[in-house]
C-alpha cells in the first residue's frame, strides 16, 4: 500500500468513526424512525460499503486508546478528538473491542447494531447483550474488548485507593525533605505517577472520584495529588502519549513546591490575607522555579517543570502573577495544570476558604473566566471530562431521593450515574447506583436531577461513600 492509498483509507476510516459517533448520539435522543437517525444510518452504510469494496472485510478495532481499521491505526486531528474520545469510552463501557463488517451491509443491519449498542448500557453484561442481539445479523459481528493488562484477581477500587494515598504520602515525604534542606529522590514519585497514568487509561472514573476526597488537615498534599490526577486525565483527553502524561503528572504533583518558602503562619492563616501577605504568596511561583532548578541536574524535564511552576498563576491572558514584561504564549502544561489547580482549589475547604463551591458552581465560575483566566478550548475538554455534575456532587432527584454523582455520562452531561444514599422516604440506605438516562415504558426519564445540595446541610462526608 503506497502513501496516497493509506491516506485515502485513513480519511474514509475517520469518516466512519465520525458518522458512527454522530449516529449514536442522535439515536440516544431520537428513536430509529426519526429522519435524522434514518439519514445517519444511510450515511454510515455508504461509508462502510465503500470500505468493504477495497478491504473486503472491515474490522473496527479498539486497542488501548486508539481505533484501528483492520491493521491500520486511524489517525485524527484535534477537531475530531471529541468524537473519537466519545466512541472510545462508549466501546469500553460495553466491553466492545471489535465490530466486523462483512459483505454488503444493509440499513437494517446497522439499525440492529445501533439498537443493540444503546440498549446494552442498561445491562449487567453489556457485551453479552450486544452479542446476543447481533447473532441474527449475518453481515455484522462483534468481539469482546481485550484489555492491555487484564487481571481479574484484584479489586480495581482498592488498587485506585492504594495508589491515591500512596501518592499523598509520597508527596508529603518529598516536600518535607526539601523543606528541611535534605536531598529528595523523585524515583518513587515517578513510579506512582506512572501507575496513576495506567489507571486513568483503564479506570478514569474511579481515579477522578478520588479527587473528591478533600482532607482539610492535609490539604497541601491532597491538592497536589488531585491536580496531578486531573491534569493527567485532561492530557489523556487531548491525546498525549503515556510518556508525556507521566511527565505532566510529575510536574503537576510539584507545581506548588514554591510554597515551602511561604511561612506557615501565612500559609495556614484562617482569615483572609492582608496586602503584605498576598505579596509573599504571589512570590511562590518564582520560588518554585528556583527550587526545581536546584533540586536536580538541569535537563529538559526540570526546565519544563520550572516553567510550569513559574507560569501556573499567570492566567491564559497573562493577567495573573508574577507580573511579566513581555507577552508570550503559556506552555500547554501550564494551561492544563492551572485549570486543574483552580478547580480543585475552589471546590476544596482550604485554610482560608472554609466554604468550598459545589463542583457544578465551580464550573460555572470557570466558564465565566473562559478566555481570560482559562484556555477556552481546554476548558471545553475539561468540562466534558468531569461532567456538568462532577463526581462527588450531592444531588436531589425528582423522586425525593438524595445521592451523589458516582459516574459521568459523556453523551448526556446532565444525566450522570447517581449512587442513592437517602431514599424517597428519608431513610439512609446502602448505595444503589442508578443511571439517569434510564427511561420507563412510556419513554420518559425515570429520574432527573432537581438541584445540587450542600453536603454540610445533611452532615455528609462524601469521602465515606467514595472510599
C-alpha cell at 225: 495529588
Has residue 242 got a pLDDT over 80?
yes
Has residue 351 got a pLDDT over 80?
no
User: Residue 128's closest CA among 113, 144, 114, 112?
Assistant: 144
Q: How far is CA 305 from the centre of its chain?
A: 22
Annotate 31-77 with DSSP letters as a single string. Answer: -TTSHHHHHHHHHHHHHHHHHHHHHSEEEEEEETTEEEETTEEPP--
Mean pLDDT (the chain) is 85
Confidence of residue 268 (pLDDT cuts 50, 70, 90): confident
Has residue 69 got a pLDDT over 90?
no
Task: Please state, for a pLDDT cut of 90, what percent of the chain lies above it.
Answer: 33
Give the mean model confidence (pLDDT) for residues 65-75. Answer: 82
Q: Can you tell me which residue has the cell 508574577?
A: 322
Per-residue pLDDT at 151:
41
Neighbouring C-beta atoms of residue 390, cutoff 10 Å: 23
Name 432's bridge partners: 420
Tell me the C-alpha distance between 190 and 234, whole Å: 19
Has residue 6 got a pLDDT over 80?
no
Tell me the C-alpha distance between 416 and 436, whole Å: 6
C-alpha cell at 394: 450531592
Helix (H) or strand (E) segment spanning residue 366: helix 359-368
CB-based contacts of 205: which residues, under 8 Å, 6+ apart?
391, 407, 408
pLDDT tens-place string over residues 373-398: 999 999 999 998 888 888 888 899 99
Tell me the C-alpha distance between 20 and 15, whole Å: 8
Confidence of residue 320 (pLDDT cuts 50, 70, 90): very high
Give the mean model confidence (pLDDT) for residues 327-332. Answer: 93
Confidence of residue 153 (pLDDT cuts 50, 70, 90): very low
Per-residue pLDDT at 25:
87
Helix (H) or strand (E) segment spanning residue 395: strand 394-397
Give the mean model confidence (pLDDT) for residues 202-217. Answer: 74
Instruction: Specify the 3-state DSSP secondary structure of 291.
Output: helix
Residue ranges and CATH numbers for the domains of the chain are 3-144 (no CATH), 156-386 (1.10.3210.10), 394-466 (no CATH)
Q: What are the C-alpha distances in Å from 95 to residues 15, 288, 321, 404?
A: 23, 43, 46, 25
What secondary structure letter does DSSP report for 431? E
User: Do 57 and 101 form a contact (C-beta atoms < 8 A)?
Assistant: yes
- Using the Cα atoms of residue 398, residue 206, residue 226 and residue 231 in order, give the sign of their dihedral: negative
Higher-scoring residue by pLDDT: 53, 335:
335
Angle at 301 between CA 241 and CA 223, to 5 degrees: 80
pLDDT tens-place string over residues 335-344: 999 999 999 9
Name 141's bridge partners: 100
pLDDT tens-place string over residues 16-33: 888 898 899 888 888 777
Give the mean model confidence (pLDDT) for residues 399-428. Answer: 86
Confidence of residue 246 (pLDDT cuts 50, 70, 90): very high
Task: Please state, for a pLDDT cut of 70, what percent of the chain lies above it.
Answer: 90
Higher-scoring residue by pLDDT: 234, 36:
234
Has residue 287 got a pLDDT over 90?
yes
- Edge to edge, the sheet with strand 428-435 lists 428-435, 417-422, 402-407, 394-397, 449-452
Per-residue pLDDT at 247:
94
Per-residue pLDDT at 343:
93
Query: pTM, whole model, 2 decimals?
Result: 0.68
Per-residue pLDDT at 466:
63
Amino acid at each position: 500500500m503506497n502513501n496516497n492509498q493509506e491516506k485515502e483509507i485513513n480519511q474514509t476510516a475517520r469518516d466512519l468513526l465520525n458518522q458512527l459517533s454522530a449516529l449514536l448520539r442522535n439515536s440516544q435522543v431520537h428513536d430509529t424512525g426519526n429522519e435524522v437517525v434514518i439519514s445517519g444510518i444511510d450515511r454510515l452504510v455508504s461509508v462502510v460499503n465503500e470500505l468493504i469494496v477495497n478491504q473486503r472485510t472491515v474490522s473496527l478495532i479498539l486497542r488501548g486508546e486508539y481505533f484501528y481499521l483492520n491493521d491500520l491505526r486511524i489517525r485524527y486531528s484535534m477537531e475530531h478528538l471529541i468524537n473519537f474520545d466519545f466512541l472510545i469510552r462508549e466501546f469500553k463501557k460495553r466491553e466492545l473491542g471489535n465490530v466486523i463488517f462483512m459483505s454488503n451491509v444493509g440499513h437494517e443491519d446497522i439499525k440492529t447494531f445501533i439498537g443493540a449498542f444503546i440498549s446494552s448500557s442498561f445491562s449487567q453484561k453489556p457485551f453479552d447483550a450486544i452479542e446476543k442481539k447481533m447473532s441474527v445479523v449475518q453481515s455484522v459481528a462483534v468481539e469482546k474488548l481485550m484489555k492491555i493488562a487484564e487481571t481479574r484477581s484484584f479489586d480495581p477500587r482498592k488498587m485506585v485507593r492504594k495508589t491515591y494515598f500512596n501518592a499523598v504520602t509520597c508527596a508529603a515525604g518529598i516536600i518535607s525533605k526539601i523543606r528541611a534542606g535534605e536531598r529528595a529522590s523523585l524515583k518513587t514519585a515517578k513510579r506512582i505517577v506512572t501507575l496513576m497514568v495506567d489507571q486513568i487509561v483503564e479506570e478514569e472514573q474511579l481515579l477522578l472520584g478520588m479527587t473528591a476526597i478533600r482532607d482539610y488537615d492535609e490539604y497541601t498534599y491532597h491538592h497536589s495529588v488531585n491536580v496531578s490526577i486531573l491534569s493527567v486525565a485532561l492530557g489523556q483527553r487531548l491525546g498525549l502519549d503515556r510518556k508525556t502524561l507521566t511527565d505532566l503528572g510529575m510536574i503537576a504533583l510539584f507545581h506548588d513546591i514554591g510554597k515551602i518558602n511561604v511561612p506557615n503562619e501565612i500559609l495556614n492563616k484562617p482569615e483572609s490575607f492582608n496586602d503584605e501577605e498576598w505579596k509573599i504568596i504571589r512570590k511562590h511561583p518564582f520560588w518554585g522555579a528556583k527550587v526545581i532548578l536546584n533540586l536536580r541536574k538541569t535537563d529538559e524535564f526540570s526546565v519544563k517543570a520550572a516553567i510550569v511552576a513559574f507560569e501556573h498563576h499567570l492566567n491564559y491572558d497573562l493577567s495573573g502573577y508574577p507580573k511579566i514584561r513581555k507577552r508570550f504564549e503559556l506552555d500547554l502544561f501550564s494551561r492544563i495544570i492551572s485549570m486543574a489547580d483552580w478547580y480543585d482549589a475552589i471546590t476544596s475547604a482550604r485554610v482560608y476558604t472554609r466554604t468550598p463551591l459545589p463542583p457544578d458552581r465551580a464550573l460555572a465560575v470557570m466558564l465565566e473566566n473562559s478566555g481570560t483566566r482559562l484556555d477556552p478550548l481546554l476548558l471545553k475538554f475539561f468540562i466534558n471530562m468531569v461532567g456538568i455534575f462532577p463526581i462527588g456532587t450531592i444531588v436531589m432527584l425528582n423522586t425525593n431521593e438524595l445521592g451523589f454523582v458516582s459516574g459521568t455520562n459523556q453523551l448526556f452531561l446532565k444525566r450522570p450515574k447517581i449512587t442513592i444514599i437517602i431514599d424517597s422516604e428519608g431513610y439512609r440506605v446502602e448505595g444503589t447506583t442508578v443511571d439517569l438516562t434510564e427511561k420507563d415504558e412510556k419513554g420518559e426519564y425515570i429520574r432527573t436531577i432537581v438541584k445540587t445540595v450542600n453536603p454540610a446541610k445533611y452532615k455528609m462526608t462524601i469521602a465515606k461513600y467514595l472510599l
